[in-house]
A and B are shown apart, each in its own frame.
Chain A
Amino acid sequence: MIAADIISKRTVTSTASATAQKQKIKVNIVVCLKQILDPEIPSRDFRVDSEKMEAQRGGASLVTNIFCENALETALQFREKFGGRITALIFAPAGGEDSLRKALAMKADAAVHVINDGAAHPDPLAVARVLAAAVRRLGNIDLVMVGRESGDWGVGQTGGLMAEELGIPSVSFVDRLEKQERGLLLHRQTDQGWENVEAQTPLVVTITNDDQNLPRIPKTRDIMLSSRQPIIRWSLEDLAADDAGIDVAEIRAGGGYYRVVDLAIPTKEIVCEMVAGETLEERVDQLADRIMSVVRSL
Chain B
Amino acid sequence: MSRVIGIIFSSAGYDRAAQGVTGAGRRLADALGLPLQMVVVGGGGGDLAGSLAAVADAVTVLTVTGVADYQPEQTLAALTDLCRGEGAQAVLLGNDTWSQELAPRLAHRLGGSAAGDGVELVIADGRLRVSRSVYGGKAMATIELLRDPAVVWIRARAFDPATAREVPAPIESLEAAPTGEPATFIIERKSEVTGEARLEDAQVIVSGGRGLGGPEPFTDLQDLAGLLGGQTAASRAACDSGWCPPSWQVGQTGRKVAPGLYLAVAIRGASQHLAGISEAKTIAAINNDPDALIFKHCRFGIVEDYRKVLPLLRERLAAMRKE
User: Contacts of A298 on B, CB cut-off 8 Å?
Assistant: 155, 157-158, 203-204, 260-261
Query: Please, how many angstroms separate the alpha-carbon atoms of A295 and B97 in the complex?
Result: 20
- Chain A CB count within 10 A is highest, among B182, B184, B308, B309, for B184
If A200-B184, A256-B147 touch, does A153 touch B190 (CB 8 Å cutoff)?
no
**A-contact bits for B224-262, CB 8 A (1 contact / 0 none):** 000011000000000000000000000000000000110
B116 touches A157 (CB 8 A): yes
Q: Considering the complex, which residues of chain B in the window 113-154 have a beta carbon less than 8 Å from any beta carbon of chain A?
A: 113-117, 119, 124, 129, 131-136, 138-147
Give the Cβ gap from B310 to chain A, nearest Cβ, in Å: 9
Contact of B184 among A197, A269, A284, A296 (CB under 8 A): A197
- Chain B CB count within 10 A is highest, among A1, A39, A172, A296, for A172
**A-contact bits for B280-293, CB 8 A (1 contact / 0 none):** 01101110001000
- Chain B CB count within 10 A is highest, among A5, A275, A285, A294, for A294
B interface, size bucket: 35 or more
B109 CB within 8 Å of chain A = yes
A275 touches B228 (CB 8 A): no
Binds B, one of A16-24, A84-92, A161-169, A234-242: A161-169
Query: Please, how many angstroms separate the alpha-carbon atoms of A169 and B114 in the complex?
Result: 18
Query: Please, how many angstroms separate the alpha-carbon atoms of A169 and B104 in the complex?
Result: 13
User: Contacts of B304 on A, CB cut-off 8 Å?
Assistant: 280, 283
A217 CB within 8 Å of chain B = no
Contact of A257 among B116, B146, B203, B228 (CB under 8 A): B146
A4 touches B296 (CB 8 A): no
Give the Cβ gap from B116 to chain A, nearest Cβ, in Å: 5
B187 touches A266 (CB 8 A): no
User: Can you name the residue of chain A whose Cβ is closest to the Cβ of B114?
Assistant: A157
If A256-B146, A265-B139 touch, does A284 touch B313 (CB 8 Å cutoff)?
yes
Binds B, one of A69-77, A184-192, A218-226: A184-192
A194 CB within 8 Å of chain B = yes
A164 touches B109 (CB 8 A): yes
Give the Cβ gap from A57 to chain B, nearest Cβ, in Å: 12
Contact of B113 among A46, A196, A258, A273 (CB under 8 A): A258
Query: Please, how many angstroms separate the alpha-carbon atoms of A31 and B144 in the complex?
Result: 29
User: Contacts of B96 on A, CB cut-off 8 Å?
Assistant: 190-191
Query: Please, how many angstroms separate the alpha-carbon atoms of A152 and B146 in the complex?
Result: 21
A154 touches B284 (CB 8 A): no
B228 touches A5 (CB 8 A): no
User: Contacts of B302 on A, CB cut-off 8 Å?
Assistant: 274-275, 283-284, 287
B320 touches A260 (CB 8 A): no
Main secondary structure of the interface of A (DSSP, over half): mixed
B105 touches A160 (CB 8 A): yes
A260 touches B184 (CB 8 A): no
A291 touches B317 (CB 8 A): yes
User: Can you name the residue of chain A whose Cβ is closest to the Cβ of B309?
Assistant: A284
Q: Considering the complex, which residues of chain A in the window 249-289 have a beta carbon less than 8 Å from any beta carbon of chain B?
A: 256-266, 268-269, 272-275, 280-281, 283-285, 287-289
If A156-B116, A171-B184, A265-B139 touch, does A2 touch B190 (CB 8 Å cutoff)?
yes
**A-contact bits for B101-114, CB 8 A (1 contact / 0 none):** 11111001100011
User: Can you name the residue of chain A whose Cβ is closest to the Cβ of B102?
Assistant: A160
Give the Cβ gap from A286 to chain B, nearest Cβ, in Å: 8
Query: Please, how many angstroms separate the alpha-carbon atoms of A53 and B297 in the complex?
Result: 28
Which 6 A-B pairs rank lowest in CB-CB distance, beginning with the nearest?
A160-B104, A262-B142, A157-B104, A164-B108, A288-B316, A272-B298
Q: What are some 21 contacts across the A-B interface (CB < 8 A)?
A: A2-B192, A7-B186, A7-B187, A40-B278, A156-B116, A157-B114, A160-B104, A169-B183, A169-B184, A189-B97, A195-B190, A196-B189, A203-B183, A265-B140, A272-B299, A272-B301, A291-B261, A294-B261, A296-B157, A297-B119, A297-B157
A residues lining the B interface (CB < 8 Å):
1-10, 37, 39-40, 42-43, 46, 48, 53, 55, 124-125, 151-157, 159-161, 163-165, 168-173, 186, 188-200, 203, 256-266, 268-269, 272-275, 280-281, 283-285, 287-292, 294-298
Taking A1-B193, A191-B97, A203-B184 as given, write out 20 further A-B residue pairs in contact, using a Cβ cutoff of 8 Å, ordered by the A residue number: A2-B193, A4-B189, A9-B187, A39-B135, A48-B139, A154-B134, A169-B183, A170-B101, A171-B184, A172-B100, A198-B187, A258-B146, A261-B143, A262-B131, A262-B140, A263-B141, A273-B301, A275-B302, A288-B317, A290-B284
